[in-house]
Chains A and B, each alone.
Chain A
């Protein structure tokens, strides 16, 4: 298996290099045969990389302990699903996995029929990245290294990784990272072809949106995993590794919005190029951060020499792309100018500045230890308060924009029309504010501002849909329900965006509640004792132990009652994995939309009493649920067929009514 895998990778590297040469020859007008040959080389690369991945998966599942990688990340008693996940558990394997997704995407793009003229340029650009990854797994971080003497068993997987999060988080994150290579490659192809219009944007919209979705999910699943596994009661710690995946998400979000301005108004071309280059660069930079060991992180890969290669490759790619932009700058400059400061395009620009500002602040905080050590020789870290203090206001401003931007017209809006369309949402928001102050008894200013903005955005969004329905009803004479369905399904791009916005607002509600109102209690329970903690009546029945799969479990058996209602039996565990000395504290969680009861078993004493740490985390469920709403929104916007296209460009002067102002 090992030799099949490593030979496959070597041939894949050869073929990918060959495809670059063949594409080059075709672009030099040496004949169509080179294009066909180059394409076949791309397919061949994808096939051979797939064979190597297949060999690795086989070795992992069959337990071929003659391969070093298999011994490092699996063991005989590891459940089969985690044997599969071991593919991305280590450096070499995850690079192999990454390279595999990348060459598969390249093959799909190369084979697609709708963007023929871009392929001779876009495909080799993706292949350059592919060559880099194939080079890494052939010569720097080899997945198929064989041991001189096969071992009887492997060391097993880190217990923290044995969680459903391990199945889904790395996959979604990598798909998101790799996916952004597609719009980047098309942007560069457009520059090389001197075709700076919006064609590349239209061609890659689906790719961009799907990659963005995967990046969103990757971040969210990562946060959820940290929440249910790491046992500190939170889900986001502004750790360098978390920041590494958040930064491209922020610039990618900015890109998704600003390309709309280019499509509709033929402006911001240079900005869009810079954004996609930045986003692509950040996906590689993230990999550098995670694998180089330059920043201390609780969940980075161990330090390795990979970092230097990534840094050099990323820098070269960014410099080459920026050179290309500079070279074509006069071409990109042509286009429209802003006509008014109060217009949809200027609100999009504001949204972009906020997103990029946020990404910049996170970048600065993340690399500051490295910078300060290089400049003043003193390593200075920046803690969580910095990130919160900068990004909370930016986040709220962004949410506010979600309730403003969709409602104002392209080109030029008047203050009068704006105040008209904003009146009702603000009235509802103020009523909502008064309700939560007087009925809910909430007085913390940050929470009040956040909730008011969230209510406003939801009201504004619903109002806009309602207005559209009324206009449509009047024009067509359909009833309300049919009008609503037809309105939404015929402007899916616009309303898909609205659904995504609602999802993000739900996430903001969750983030606000869990950060502002969280409480924690530590309490010792004697066997049979019942106590009230944070409104929950918790009775401790006793300390038990059991054996499950490859681990021994010690758990406290609890019954939870709230408001005379039995909420369930909680088993708060400390898990001892057979391959690992250290126990894992597994939280037990009762989750509702109001709040999570999050209980940890921190220790026990000889008399059988236990010490429990109890977190009350309000509204966290909104965060995860918002993620599902975002998925629905993206699928709704992308579902093929009529209604997913872009709205018409502005050609004639004048206001377009709400019903078909597709955005």
Chain B
């Protein structure tokens, strides 16, 4: 085998492996940004329960039910236009700054029971600077 052919072979194997890694990793980890209105509007279309979603909204303070012994956190999120709410179930710990009206981003799936099963709950601090 001549040198050039070898080189092309090695490079294409590397690129192939890299491409495969990127592609498969990508498909396993992508999630769609949606608003609460979009989520509740697409209910019943069947498709939505399979995709991982990233939904942002505001926390409804009085809806928070926190059972630390399990732990299990239930709360409602309300859309920017205050029209739609979405119940969320999160089997994890309540974030520190979980006050009424803060911005919440949840990662997870919207189930057929019309509850958002969150794998992650992120809160945005109201302060200006939040470098870690």
Do the two chains belong together in a single complex? yes
B95 to chain A, nearest CB (A): 9
Please, which residue of chain B has its CB at the minimum distance from the CB of A156? B127
A270 in the interface (beta carbon within 8 A):
no
A331 in the interface (beta carbon within 8 A):
no
Q: Give the residues from 45 to 71 in chain B that come closer than 8 angstroms, CB to CB, to chain A.
A: 52, 54, 56, 66, 68-71
Q: Which of A241, A290, A380 contacts B33 (CB 8 A)?
A: A380
A436 to chain B, nearest CB (A): 26
| Contact in complex: B32, A299 (CB < 8 Å) | no
Q: How far is the CA of A106 from the CA of B6 in the complex (A)?
A: 47
A554 to chain B, nearest CB (A): 12
| Contact in complex: A299, B131 (CB < 8 Å) | yes
Q: Which of A229, A231, A290, A390 contacts B21 (CB 8 A)?
A: A390
B14 in the interface (beta carbon within 8 A):
yes
Q: How far is the CA of A380 from the CA of B27 in the complex (A)?
A: 11
| Contact in complex: B99, A298 (CB < 8 Å) | no
- Residues of chain B within 8 A (CB-CB) of A161 are 129, 131
A54 in the interface (beta carbon within 8 A):
no
| Contact in complex: A302, B26 (CB < 8 Å) | no
Q: Which of B18, B99, B105, B129 contacts A296 (CB 8 A)?
A: B105
| Contact in complex: B127, A158 (CB < 8 Å) | yes
| Contact in complex: A230, B97 (CB < 8 Å) | no
A518 in the interface (beta carbon within 8 A):
no
- Residues of chain B within 8 A (CB-CB) of A165 are 132
- Residues of chain A within 8 A (CB-CB) of B33 are 369, 378-381
B13 in the interface (beta carbon within 8 A):
no
Could you give, for residues 580-599 of chain A, a 1 whenever the CB lies within 8 Å of some chain B CB and a 0 otherwise?
Answer: 01111100000000000000
| Contact in complex: A381, B7 (CB < 8 Å) | no
| Contact in complex: B52, A378 (CB < 8 Å) | no
Partner-binding segment picked from A97-105, A206-214, A417-425, A600-608:
A600-608
B36 to chain A, nearest CB (A): 15
A364 in the interface (beta carbon within 8 A):
yes
B85 in the interface (beta carbon within 8 A):
no
Q: Give the residues from 107 to 132 in chain B that come closer than 8 angstroms, CB to CB, to chain A.
A: 107, 122, 124-125, 127-132
- Residues of chain A within 8 A (CB-CB) of B131 are 161, 170, 241, 290, 299-301
A477 in the interface (beta carbon within 8 A):
no
A522 in the interface (beta carbon within 8 A):
yes
| Contact in complex: B54, A611 (CB < 8 Å) | no
Q: How far is the CA of A611 from the CA of B31 in the complex (A)?
A: 32
- Residues of chain B within 8 A (CB-CB) of A72 are 128
Q: How far is the CA of A89 from the CA of B131 in the complex (A)?
A: 8
A383 in contact with B29 given A582-B97, A584-B96, A605-B68 (CB within 8 Å): yes
| Contact in complex: A383, B93 (CB < 8 Å) | no
B25 in the interface (beta carbon within 8 A):
yes
Q: How far is the CA of A90 from the CA of B131 in the complex (A)?
A: 9
Please, which residue of chain B has its CB at the minimum distance from the CB of A231? B96
- Give the interface residue-count category, chain A: 35 or more
Q: How far is the CA of A384 from the CA of B22 in the complex (A)?
A: 13
A563 in the interface (beta carbon within 8 A):
no
| Contact in complex: A364, B22 (CB < 8 Å) | yes
- Residues of chain B within 8 A (CB-CB) of A309 are none
- Give the interface residue-count category, chain B: 35 or more
Could you give, for residues 14-38 of chain B, a 1 whenever the CB lies within 8 Å of some chain A CB and a 0 otherwise?
Answer: 1000100110111011111100000
A611 in contact with B71 given A364-B22, A380-B30 (CB within 8 Å): yes
| Contact in complex: B22, A390 (CB < 8 Å) | yes
Q: How far is the CA of A424 from the CA of B83 in the complex (A)?
A: 69
| Contact in complex: B28, A301 (CB < 8 Å) | no
A341 in contact with B128 given A378-B32, A380-B33, A389-B28 (CB within 8 Å): no
Q: Which of A302, A353, A383, A384 contacts B128 (CB 8 A)?
A: A302
A393 in the interface (beta carbon within 8 A):
yes
| Contact in complex: A357, B96 (CB < 8 Å) | no
A396 to chain B, nearest CB (A): 12
- Residues of chain B within 8 A (CB-CB) of A382 are 26, 29-31
Q: Which of B6, B96, B124, B128 contacts A583 (CB 8 A)?
A: B96
Could you give, for residues 290-331 of chain A, a 1 whenever the CB lies within 8 Å of some chain B CB and a 0 otherwise?
Answer: 100000101111100000000000000000000000000000
Q: How far is the CA of A230 from the CA of B131 in the complex (A)?
A: 11
A299 in contact with B68 given A379-B32, A383-B107 (CB within 8 Å): no
B8 to chain A, nearest CB (A): 12
Q: How far is the CA of A174 from the CA of B21 in the complex (A)?
A: 32
A91 in the interface (beta carbon within 8 A):
yes
Q: Which of A73, A298, A386, A603 contacts B68 (CB 8 A)?
A: A603
- Residues of chain A within 8 A (CB-CB) of B28 are 385-386, 389
Could you give, for residues 353-370 of chain A, a 1 whenever the CB lies within 8 Å of some chain B CB and a 0 otherwise?
Answer: 100010001001100010
A115 in the interface (beta carbon within 8 A):
no
Please, which residue of chain A has its CB at the minimum distance from the CB of B103? A296
Please, which residue of chain B has its CB at the minimum distance from the CB of A364? B22
B107 to chain A, nearest CB (A): 7
- Residues of chain A within 8 A (CB-CB) of B32 are 378-381
Sample 28 A-B pairs with CB under 8 A, ordered by A number.
Answer: A89-B129, A158-B130, A160-B125, A161-B129, A241-B132, A299-B131, A301-B129, A341-B3, A341-B7, A341-B10, A380-B30, A380-B33, A381-B30, A383-B30, A384-B29, A386-B25, A386-B30, A387-B29, A388-B25, A389-B21, A389-B24, A389-B28, A390-B21, A390-B25, A581-B97, A582-B125, A600-B93, A602-B68
Q: Which residues of B contact A (CB under 8 A)?
A: 3, 6-7, 10, 14, 18, 21-22, 24-26, 28-33, 52, 54, 56, 66, 68-71, 93-94, 96-97, 99, 105, 107, 122, 124-125, 127-132
Q: Which residues of A contact B (CB under 8 A)?
A: 72-73, 89-91, 158, 160-161, 165, 169-170, 222, 225-226, 229-231, 239, 241-242, 290, 296, 298-302, 341, 353, 357, 361, 364-365, 369, 378-390, 393-394, 522, 524, 574, 581-585, 600, 602-605, 611, 613
Further 10 A-B residue pairs, CB within 8 A, beyond A91-B129, A341-B10, A383-B30: A300-B130, A301-B128, A381-B32, A381-B33, A386-B25, A386-B29, A387-B25, A389-B29, A582-B96, A583-B96
